[in-house]
Chain A
Amino acid sequence: MTTPVLSSSPRRAATSLSVLLPSVCVLAGAALAFLMFPYDLSFLTRIVIMMIFVVSFDLILGQAGIATLGHAAMYGCGAYAAGLIALHLSPDPILGLAIGAVAGAVMAWISGLILLRTHGITLLMISIAMTMVLQEAASQARWLTGGADGLAGITVSPLLGLFEFDFVGQVAFIYSVSVLAGVLLLCQILISSPFGLALRGIEGSASRMRAIGTPVYRRKVTVYVIAGAIAGIAGALTAQVTGLVGIEVFNFSLSADVMVMLILGGAGRLYGALIGTLLFMVVHHLAASVDPFNWLFVIGFMLILVVFVLPKGLISLPTRVTQLLRRT
């Protein structure tokens, strides 16, 4: 292998303002939402957590082109790990978050070593099968997971020893938004890095990447582990905020929802993951409140519309409008 022979110092990514932009946008939007919807904070917190989960999926699908339907595996492991830690070891939320990240990363590493040797339909099927196995294992291991009843009674201590999780959900919301801002900053740095460029290369043409000497499989496993850690964080947050972890954290429908959210917003751009999640969750909330049995019809219609009219997701709407205006 060639030894790096670089003489100049690389510029630090953190110095670039563009790297901070997604996090700043999220913080500003969250502040606005906090003021406008003070009694809907628990719903807003669910949206924020789901955004973290979808951003993690964007890292593998949008950046590296790895399409799976088993992302809930990492989310679920993170949720169970944080729940178990809070129940049996320490109620500290930051420790729970870290353990959730490790659990997600370990699950991603173990499963990624097998999954990422495949692609296409095989990858989709194996990833679904993996979450099914995990769900069944969680259901059977009652002594550890509580089985179908789940882990209940999870409580966490005050955040940083100072901020008690309140009934309205203000601390939980601020805590989740802070984690999302941190995750976005990390992802933005990663995307701007040589590793991020290599991922875009793999997404564009894995065969060409091999032909320039890239160990494609190793790079895929690495990003899968990073995404798994972030998904694990999302799962841990869910456990801490809701105080409950059920076997449905491994549901296939959760993985499918995440994919739908990303496609709606636009894969490959972090903002797409945020917009898609927001839209999906809000439409789901509103449609389900109008018709609890047929809300999927609205989501399905919305997905068809976006896929046909804006194949690159809602994030591409301004570009598409500009193109249409130029034509006219």
Chain B
Amino acid sequence: MGDGLAIVGLTKSFGGLQVARDLTLTLPQGSRTALIGPNGAGKTTFANLLTGVLKPTSGKIMLDGQDIGSLNEAARVRAGIAKTFQITNLFRDLSVRENLRLPILEREGCTHHIFRRADGWRDIEAEITELMLELNIQSLADKPVRDLAYGQQRLVELALTLAVKPKVLILDEPAAGVPSTESHLIVEAIKRLPSDLSVLIIEHDMQLVFEVANRIIVLVNGAILMEGTPDEVVTNDRVRELYLGAAHV
């Protein structure tokens, strides 16, 4: 068992504007944590700091005891941190199978090969099929991603991220833009994620948060307002006032 992800005193400033303030928290292995907060609270900034898109002004990011704060984005993925995008970011001209082939080839260190066929590894092809079965998208295997419904694209997005076999998975608004008739597919897929995977869900949809998270962190103005179980968060007066609105207090 690894130690999971530990964030210590993480701060980010753009000039005089502080967007992450001394954030300290842990994501133990296998945890299901939701990060909530009003618009502009710094949730996506926090995700970008974890994935290496942004460099922190100060603080440490430790994964299984190793400081990964100095690694670039791609190296952090290889270390075990992966995220889905708020707005679907897929290879639209490639089929679902080709989309999934890419991260697996990358994970296995095969993308520098020039004199071998991309579909030439039986193990990788079998893993792609297995992944599609897990997320129930096997019927879409040979369709170009651009032809898929948005809900299906979100599932491919999730599959693509799982394909790198992360230790920590950051889901940035996984149900954003998904029609209500398809959002149950996302919830079911998240519930079926491997139990040893640490999951951080950034989400506005509180119903989804309460369904999948066993711990919630509330972020306001770049700082942690509180963290606790869903019951503790929902009964906290400060959260109700700041996040759910004064009328709820």
Q: Give the interface of A toward B (CB within 8 A).
A: 1-8, 10-14, 16, 189-190, 192-198, 200-201, 204-205, 207-216, 219, 222
* A212 CA / B90 CA spacing, docked (Å): 11
User: A10 to chain B: which residues have CB within 8 Å?
Assistant: 113, 116-117, 120-121
- Cβ of B4 < 8 Å from any Cβ of A? no
State whether B107 touches A196 (Cβ < 8 A): no
State whether B117 touches A13 (Cβ < 8 A): yes
State whether A211 touches B89 (Cβ < 8 A): yes
- Cβ of B249 < 8 Å from any Cβ of A? no
State whether A194 touches B113 (Cβ < 8 A): yes
User: A210 to chain B: which residues have CB within 8 Å?
Assistant: 73-74, 77
Q: Quick one: given A6-B124, A197-B105, are A213 and B164 in contact (CB under 8 Å)?
A: yes
Question: A1, A5, A193, A209: which contacts B78 (Cβ < 8 A)?
Answer: A1
State whether B117 touches A11 (Cβ < 8 A): yes
Those 10 A-B pairs whose CB atoms lie nearest each other, nearest first: A213-B77, A10-B120, A212-B103, A204-B91, A8-B122, A198-B111, A10-B116, A197-B118, A11-B120, A208-B89
- Cβ of B94 < 8 Å from any Cβ of A? yes
Q: Give the interface of B toward A (CB within 8 A).
A: 51, 73-75, 77-78, 82-83, 85, 89-94, 98, 101-103, 105-118, 120-124, 160-161, 163-165
User: B92 to chain A: which residues have CB within 8 Å?
Assistant: 204
Q: B160 → chain A, closest Cβ, in Å?
A: 7
State whether B91 touches A6 (Cβ < 8 A): no
Question: A13, A197, A200, A205: which contacts B115 (Cβ < 8 A)?
Answer: A13
State whether A198 touches B106 (Cβ < 8 A): yes
Question: A1, A2, A201: which contacts B102 (Cβ < 8 A)?
Answer: A201
Question: B83, B110, B114: which contacts A4 (Cβ < 8 A)?
Answer: B110
* A215 CA / B160 CA spacing, docked (Å): 17
State whether A6 touches B121 (Cβ < 8 A): yes
State whether B108 touches A211 (Cβ < 8 A): no
Q: Quick one: given A197-B102, A207-B89, A208-B89, are A2 and B121 in contact (CB under 8 Å)?
A: no
Question: B108, B112, B114, B116: which contacts A5 (Cβ < 8 A)?
Answer: B108
User: B107 to chain A: which residues have CB within 8 Å?
Assistant: 2, 212-213
Q: Quick one: given A201-B91, A204-B94, are A194 and B116 in contact (CB under 8 Å)?
A: yes
* A189 CA / B93 CA spacing, docked (Å): 20
Q: A222 → chain B, closest Cβ, in Å?
A: 8
State whether A2 touches B78 (Cβ < 8 A): yes
Q: B129 → chain A, closest Cβ, in Å?
A: 14
Q: A14 → chain B, closest Cβ, in Å?
A: 8
* A209 CA / B82 CA spacing, docked (Å): 12
Knowing that A2-B109, A192-B117, A193-B117 touch, tell me 16 more A-B residue pairs with CB under 8 angstroms: A4-B109, A10-B117, A10-B120, A11-B116, A14-B115, A194-B110, A194-B118, A198-B102, A198-B111, A200-B93, A205-B91, A207-B85, A211-B89, A212-B103, A213-B74, A214-B111
* A6 CA / B163 CA spacing, docked (Å): 15
User: A216 to chain B: which residues have CB within 8 Å?
Assistant: 74
Q: Which residue of A lies closest to B102 (CB)?
A: A201
Q: B59 → chain A, closest Cβ, in Å?
A: 22
What are 17 sample pairs from A and B whose C-beta atoms fall under 8 A apart?
A2-B109, A5-B108, A6-B121, A10-B116, A13-B120, A16-B117, A193-B118, A197-B98, A197-B105, A197-B118, A198-B105, A200-B93, A208-B85, A208-B91, A211-B83, A211-B85, A214-B111
State whether B120 touches A3 (Cβ < 8 A): no
Which of B73, B92, B124 is packed against the most chain A CB atoms within 10 Å?
A: B73
